[in-house]
A and B are shown apart, each in its own frame.
Chain A
Amino acid sequence: MSAPTVDLGMMHGGLRLPAEKQASTAAPILEIPVPGVLVVPLEQHVGAPSRPIVAIGDTVLRGQVIAAANTAVGVPVHAPSSGRVVGIEDRPVARRHGDAAPCIVIECDGKDRACTTTRHDDYLAMPPSDLLSHILEGGIVGLGGAVFPTAQKLMQAKTSEVECLILNGVECEPCISCDDMLMRENPAQVVGGARILMHALQVETCYIAVESDKPEAISRMAEALDDIDDKRIVLKQVPTIYPSGAEDQLVQMLVRREVPSGGLPTDVGCLVQNVGTAAAVHDWVVEGNPLISRVTTVTGDGIASPVNVRARFGTTAAQIIKATGGYREQPRYLVFGGPMTGKAVTTDDVPLDKSANCILALADLPSSGPTLPCIRCGDCAAVCPVQLLPQQLTWYARADDEAKLREFGLVDCIECGCCDLVCPSHIPLTAEFRRAKHRMRELADEKARAERAKRRYEARNERLAREQSERETELARQKASARAAGPDAIADILARKRGQRKDGAE
């Protein structure tokens, strides 16, 4: 039996947080019925929003591509159910905290008719490059919450020497349990996805990492691994410390190699994918189902009966919460994602999208008290999993000192929120870092724009000078050739011109 191993490297800092996961893992995953209307956002991934390829009035089938990838980084969007397109318009979306962004609105016919897709049971016979482009067509993105297009992550990994695939089932953030439930109920899909990804990457090692507080998921995964008897895939149990599921930290624990500053796990030969992503890859490649639904946790003290659900993208948070049994009381805060890294939204009328691993309704926020001056206790540095110095950084962030922020590694901050939680002065450090990062990106953009404008301005001045000198040379050449022809020729030309002018006057 492939028993979970505990031979691990160390992670710096981190926190032991209350899990808050028992309530939502008590019942099996609840299937949410397809609602009457689906609002499908066009921007559900990292990269430019997809481009609609259907028109209002078109009939669409489940799994049909309704929007195509617009740029090099991007994925197509599929219709989550069959029906008629009734609108391509701006609707509130979670990605923008409840502000409007382009969506395709589908009025479902209730029949849920599927379109035909190709299945590749024989994926082992496919060349890896074909398999990658096939995965791209499935609209699959990282389901851990970062929603980076999976196929493009794999393609990037192929350009460096990757020798190890890591499936991330750690799910260290409190309240979220969708990966836990997925591993309990569909372990075979996860393992199947691992094998497909291993073939696509041509690697011979795969670790599946699960946190130690998920014994049931671990035993179900171990059973699934015994069933296929593939020695290349190893189950690893990691300690329950937040944020052990962050990509770089997980790599550090599993392979004892630190991802360099500003680098990616591929720099140390690893590629990390979420277990949900692996299951989605299996579902698409083997079963022919593109990514049109996901498992998400509906929980929080504002929810009557917390549970994990599988819902189609485009179903609104309000509809999902209603199907689970509604609110306990009208909550004050609705968050997409977990309590540490999630996004607060202003309305429950936002649709479920690919990034939503959790819908959290909170009756109230834990009161933290007023912000006080920093007392330099250093607790923030002790818990920082990236070994940064949050108190230094926050001073530089307030001073807008770009050079120092760079020097002290702001770009490596993973915004886990550990420093916020331990700060005895309740300083909102992470918010400060997020703002500073945004500001640095803005400045870099501005700089690049100015640089381009400067180059174009200089090129134009050069062109004008060149044109001027060309004109002068041409004039000089004409003069010289006329002079060379002698005074008679010039007199001839002048006479001809005068004649023309006279003709014109008459």
Chain B
Amino acid sequence: MIAAVTTIAAMALIAGVILAVARQRLPAGKDDLVEQVNELLPQTQCAQCGYPGCRPYAQAVIDGSAAINLCPPGGDETIRRLARLLGRDPLPLVATMARAVAVIDEADCIGCFHCRNACPVDAIVGAPQFMHTVIADECTGCELCVAPCPVDCITMSPLS
């Protein structure tokens, strides 16, 4: 009787230690909830949710500090998918955002480099004191480059 209890307890302890170490050491995989939420987000990295990027927002959603309706580029579709994944109720979207790409009016660009530093996906090319331009295919339309521009030469061009 005692031998059986001790054996089971020892096995449980060993298994527990292995699991604890694995959780510490192994990288977060697909089954990680934060990663799953991040997968559903549009990866615009626009920070409109109040967090510096999609992954930080995903983290906040899982921590419980952020609601699931803060992602404007994701729209209703993303809220629905998040609600389904997390078993929460869908909420109305806080703000809408149409898909667009940033366009730099190259004639007005003074090469100040501010927009390049603001771009979360490195979609702006150019060097200090030289004209910059947007790689349209890589632009997520986050609008983060618009505000820093001192000469207001960046406009958002909507995509159909």
Across the interface, B43 reaches (CB within 8 A) one of A451, A459, A460, A463, namely: A451
A-B contact count (CB 8 A): 33
Q: How many Å lie between the Cα of A459 and that of B53 in the bound state? A: 13
Q: Which residues does A use to contact B, with CB under 8 Å? A: 446, 449-454, 456-457, 459-460, 463
In the bound complex, how far is the Cα of B138 from the Cα of A446, in angstroms? 12
A453 touches B122 (CB 8 A): no
Can you give 29 contacting A-B residue pairs, CB < 8 Å?
A: A446-B42, A449-B43, A449-B140, A450-B41, A450-B42, A451-B43, A452-B138, A453-B43, A453-B44, A453-B45, A453-B121, A453-B138, A453-B140, A454-B38, A454-B43, A454-B54, A456-B121, A456-B122, A456-B123, A456-B138, A457-B43, A457-B53, A457-B54, A457-B120, A457-B121, A460-B120, A460-B121, A460-B122, A463-B122
CA A463 – CA B138 in complex, angstroms? 17
* Chain A residues near B54 (CB-CB < 8 A): 454, 457
User: Which partner residue on chain A sits nearest B80 by CB separation?
Assistant: A400
Note all chain B residues with C-beta closer than 8 A to A449: 43, 140
Question: In B37-59, which residues have CB < 8 Å from any A CB?
Answer: 38, 41-45, 53-54
In whole angstroms, how far apart are the Cα atoms of A450 and B55 in the complex?
Answer: 12
CB-CB under 8 A from B53, the residues of chain A are: 457
CA distance A449 to B45 in the complex (A): 12
Neighbouring B residues of A452 by C-beta, 8 Å: 138
CA distance A456 to B54 in the complex (A): 12
Interface size on B, as a range, is 10 to 19
Nearest B residue to A458, CB-CB? B55
- CB contacts (< 8 Å) of B44 on chain A: these are 453
Contact with A along B80-124 (1 / 0, CB 8 A): 000000000000000000000000000000000000000011110
Q: Which of A449, A457, A459 has the most CB of B within 10 A?
A: A457
Chain B residues within 8 Å of A446, by CB: 42
Q: Which residues of B contact A457 (CB under 8 A)?
A: 43, 45, 53-54, 120-121
Most-contacted residue by chain A among B43, B45, B120 (CB, 10 A): B43
Which chain B residue shows the least CB distance to A446? B42
Query: Closest B-chain residue to A452, C-beta based?
Result: B138
Q: Which residues of B contact A450 (CB under 8 A)?
A: 41-43
| B123 surroundings in chain A (CB, below 8 A) | 456
In the complex, how many angstroms separate the beta carbon of B9 from the nearest chain A beta carbon?
A: 43
Closest CB in chain B relative to A464 CB, distance in Å: 10
Complex-state Cα separation, A384 to B25, whole angstroms: 53
Bound-state Cα–Cα, A460 to B42, Å: 17
Contacts of A454 in B (CB 8 A): 38, 43, 54
Q: List the A side residues contacting B43 at CB < 8 Å.
A: 449-451, 453-454, 457
Measured CB to CB, the closest approach of chain A to B50, in angstroms, equals: 17
B121 nearest in chain A by CB position: A456
CB distance from B94 to the nearest CB of A (A): 20
Chain B residue contacts of A453, Cβ below 8 A:
42-45, 121, 138, 140
Q: When chains A and B are docked, how far (Å) is the Cα of A411 from the Cα of B39?
A: 24
Taking A451-B43, A453-B44, A454-B43 as contacts, is the C-beta distance between A459 and B138 under 8 angstroms? no
**Cα A453 to Cα B42 with chains together (Å):** 9
Residues of A within 8 A of B45 (CB): 453, 457
Top 4 A-B residue pairs of the complex, sorted by shortest distance between their CB atoms: A450-B43, A456-B121, A453-B43, A454-B43
Which residue in chain A gives the minimum CB-CB distance to B40? A450
For the complex, give the distance between the alpha carbons of A450 and B43 in Å.
5
In the bound complex, residues from chain A placing their C-beta under 8 Å from that of B122 are 456, 459-460, 463
| Residues in chain B near residue A451, CB distance under 8 A | 43
B124 CB, nearest partner CB in chain A, Å:
11
Give B23-46 as 1s and 0s: 1 = Cβ < 8 Å from A's Cβ atoms.
Answer: 000000000000000100111110
Min Cβ gap B76→A in Å is 13
